[in-house]
Structure 1
Amino acid sequence: MALYRVHLNVARSEQYPSGSSECGYEFIVPLDGQMQLDPEAWKNHKDDCTVHRFWEDEADLRGHLRHVGKGWKFDYDKSDDEDDELLFKLDRHKLAEGEYVSITESDGEMHTFKVMAVRPYP
């Protein structure tokens, strides 16, 4: 297990025909040798697993990666669940360059993101 910094950009879609490097996430996550999320390692590194959401024309958000039941979410305010963003089947996805991840944002809209970079952290 090792910690990695993962950078996502919004992928091509009707709203973003060419994708966008101005909309995305950067987060720290423990990955196993198969480049999949390691939930046991996450338990020991919860405070390290931060997220930075950047979106054109919106204020940046900073929070943490949280494990909820079998799922994962980005949590920007521990006292309020309304801002949480759910990661679609993150426990089954490989977090490697060129792969895709879907995130349901706090407004209920789901976007697909392309993994642009995965680098050892720190």
Structure 2
Amino acid sequence: MTKPHPTAIRNTDLPPNFRQIRLELARESGHPEGAAGIAYVFLAPLNADNKIDAELWKRHREACRVARQRPGEPDELGHLVERPGGAWAFKYDVAGDTPDEVGYHFGDEQFVAGEYVSIREDGAMHTFRVVGVHRL
């Protein structure tokens, strides 16, 4: 079965506080230096405190996309979604049963280069470093 390709969205159609955010795996067991190739790149609107702007997300949720990057694998494409209770997650299989990768307290995190965030993947929590936050 072929995965549908997302509809193109022009950067100029989005509010100016949309950012491209890159997260790379921080140091952990098995990766003592971290791993730049284990990464997430996603688009999200940020407020003045560099936190995810939930109101803008609601109006532009289709634009809030993620690419999950792993060495030797094609990027897995999905969306940033808000879950019940205000939690944020990356969802790759909107119509299926692939588990979401949940950001730990993403709603409270500041997405600023040098900060750290945690993501639950396959039942295990991993720490990622924010290495880039760029205007579109």
Instruction: Place the TM-score, normalised by the shorter chain, in its bin.
Output: over 0.9
Unmatched segments (≥5 aa) in structure 2? 1-15
* Equivalent residue runs for 1:1-122 within 5 Å: 2-69=17-84, 70-105=86-121, 107-121=122-136
Secondary structure of the residue that 1:35 maps to in structure 2? coil
Is the contact between residue 77 and residue 92 of structure 2 (CA under 8 Å) also seen in structure 1?
yes
Q: CA deviation at 1:32?
A: 0.4
RMSD: 1.2
Task: Report the TM-score when normalising by structure 1.
Answer: 0.93
**Pairs aligned (count):** 120
Q: Which runs of 4+ in 1 moved over 6 A?
A: none
Q: Which protein is richer in strand relative to its size?
A: 1
Secondary structure of the residue that 1:65 maps to in structure 2? strand
Task: Report the TM-score when normalising by structure 2.
Answer: 0.84
Unmatched segments (≥5 aa) in structure 1? none
2:51 and 2:74 mapped to 1: Cα distance? 30
Q: CA deviation at 1:119?
A: 0.4
Q: CA deviation at 1:59?
A: 3.3
Q: Please identify the structure whose Cα radius of gyration is greater.
A: 2
2:127 and 2:97 mapped to 1: Cα distance? 22
